[in-house]
Amino acid sequence: MDEVRDALDVAELQGLWAAAREAMSGSKPTFRLELPDDATRAAVGELYGRPMWGEGTRISVSKLDESLRNRFGVGLSQVIEALHGSVAVAEPAPETADELLPVLDEHGLAGASWAVPWLRWMRQYGRIAESELTGITHAAARVLTAMSLTEPPRSWTSRAALAGRTGFPHSLDDGTALSRVVLKAAALAQGIEPPGNERDRRALWERCGVAPDAVSSTVLTWALPVSGDDAWSAGVRTRTELGLPAHLTHLDLDVAPARLVADGTAIAVCEHPRVLEAAVRESLRHPVICLSGLPSTTARELLDRLSGDGAVLHVHADFDWPGIAAALTAQRHGATPWRMSGDDYRAALDRAAQDRTDLPNLIGSPVPTPWDPQLADLMSTTSRAIEEEQTLQPLLTDLRNGL
Domain identity same for 222 and 206: no
pLDDT at 355 over 50: yes
Domain identity same for 52 and 116: no
Domain identity same for 266 and 373: yes
State the total domains in the chain: 3
Whether 264 maps to a domain, the answer reads yes
Domain identity same for 105 and 78: no
Last residue of a domain, one of 188, 211, 234: 211
Give the pLDDT band of residue 67 (cuts 50, 70, 90): confident
Distances (CA, A) of 154 to 76, 210, 273, 287, 298: 31, 11, 25, 23, 12
How many CB atoms are closer than 10 A to CB 103? 20
- Range of weakest confidence among 49-63, 119-133, 254-268, 306-320: 49-63
How many CB atoms are closer than 10 A to CB 396? 16
pLDDT at 86 over 60: no
Last residue of a domain, one of 169, 185, 211: 211
Distances (CA, A) of 262 to 89, 221, 228, 243, 305: 59, 17, 10, 22, 12
Instruction: Summarize pLDDT for 24-65 with one digit per residue, the tens.
Output: 776 677 788 999 888 899 899 889 888 887 788 888 887 888
What value does the mean pLDDT take over residues 98-127? 89
Domain identity same for 367 and 226: yes
Better-scored residue on pLDDT, 85 or 100:
100
- pLDDT for position 97: 45
Better-scored residue on pLDDT, 104 or 169:
104
In order, the DSSP letters of 31-55 are EEEE--SHHHHHHHHHHHTS---SS
Give the pLDDT band of residue 85 (cuts 50, 70, 90): low
Cα–Cα–Cα angle for 269, 273, 277, rounded to 5 degrees: 100
Between CA 308 and CA 291 the distance in angstroms is 19
Domain identity same for 80 and 124: no
Q: What is the CATH number of the domain that holds 396?
A: 3.40.1360
| DSSP label at residue 362 | P
What value does the mean pLDDT take over residues 134-153? 92
> Where in the sequence is the domain holding 276, given as residue range(s)?
218-401
Whether 26 maps to a domain, the answer reads yes
What value does the mean pLDDT take over residues 174-194? 92
Domain identity same for 342 and 239: yes
pLDDT at 152 over 50: yes
Domain identity same for 141 and 233: no
How confident is the prediction for the chain on average, in pLDDT?
A: 90
Buried b (16+ CB within 10 A) or exposed e, 206-241: bbbbbbbebeebbbbbbbbbbebeeeebeebbebbe
What value does the mean pLDDT take over residues 311-330? 96
The residues, ordered by sequence, that sit 6+ positions from 148 with a Cβ below 8 Å of its Cβ are 154, 207, 208, 209
Give the pLDDT band of residue 90 (cuts 50, 70, 90): very low
Burial degree of 115 (CB within 10 A; 0-12, 13-18, 19+): buried
Instruction: Summarize pLDDT for 213-267 with one digit per residue, the tens.
Output: 889 899 999 999 999 999 999 999 999 999 999 999 999 999 999 999 999 999 9
Instruction: Summarize pLDDT for 372-400 with one digit per residue, the tens.
Output: 999 999 999 999 999 999 999 999 999 99
pLDDT at 351 over 90: yes
Whether 138 maps to a domain, the answer reads yes
pLDDT at 96 over 70: no
Domain identity same for 263 and 354: yes
- pLDDT for position 98: 67
